[in-house]
Amino acid sequence: MKRPTRAKVGYQVYTIGWLDESEWEAAGLPDNTNGATRPSHGIIAIRLGFNRSEEWYRETLVHELLHACFAVSRIDVYMDDKVLDAEELVCNTQAPMLLALFRENPKVLRYLTGE
């Protein structure tokens, strides 16, 4: 299956880049992460390599899409200074749950998307 290159989150369209190690470094993205979301630029970057499975990339994409949801919904306005820690906690714990929920419940997903 072909990897997506764009996603609409609320009102904002994000470009999804699947970057190899040299592209990741050239973009100046953090060395200690495997995904990055830049809401002000409408960009999500996923780092390729490390012999990761496609399932791992899917989970990483859901994780970054959750960051995009946080940004678009402006939930940070309602949170204290620990928002980044809380956001990362939510994204880390809920990305695999949401991915499994969508995969294991196709009828629910079709209902939710109006298909």
CATH number of 6-113: 1.10.10
Q: Check: CB of residue 1 under 8 Å from CB of residue 30.
A: no
Specify the pLDDT at position 109.
Answer: 84
Q: Above 70 in pLDDT, residue 83? A: no
pLDDT, tens digit (0-9, with 9 covering 90-100), for 39-76: 999 999 999 998 899 989 999 999 999 999 988 888 76
Specify the pLDDT at position 26.
Answer: 97
Q: Above 70 in pLDDT, residue 82? A: no
In this prediction the pTM is: 0.82
Averaged pLDDT score across all residues of the chain? 88
The full DSSP string for 1-41 is -PPPSEEEETTEEEEEEEE-HHHHHHTT--TT-SEEEEGGG
Backbone angles phi, psi at 37, to 5 degrees: -120, 130
pLDDT band at 81 (very low <50, low <70, confident <90, very high): low
Specify the pLDDT at position 73.
Answer: 85
Kindly give, in sequence order, each residue whose CB lies less than 8 Å from that of residue 87, ignoring residues fewer than 6 positions away.
67, 70, 75, 76
More confident residue, 61 or 1: 61
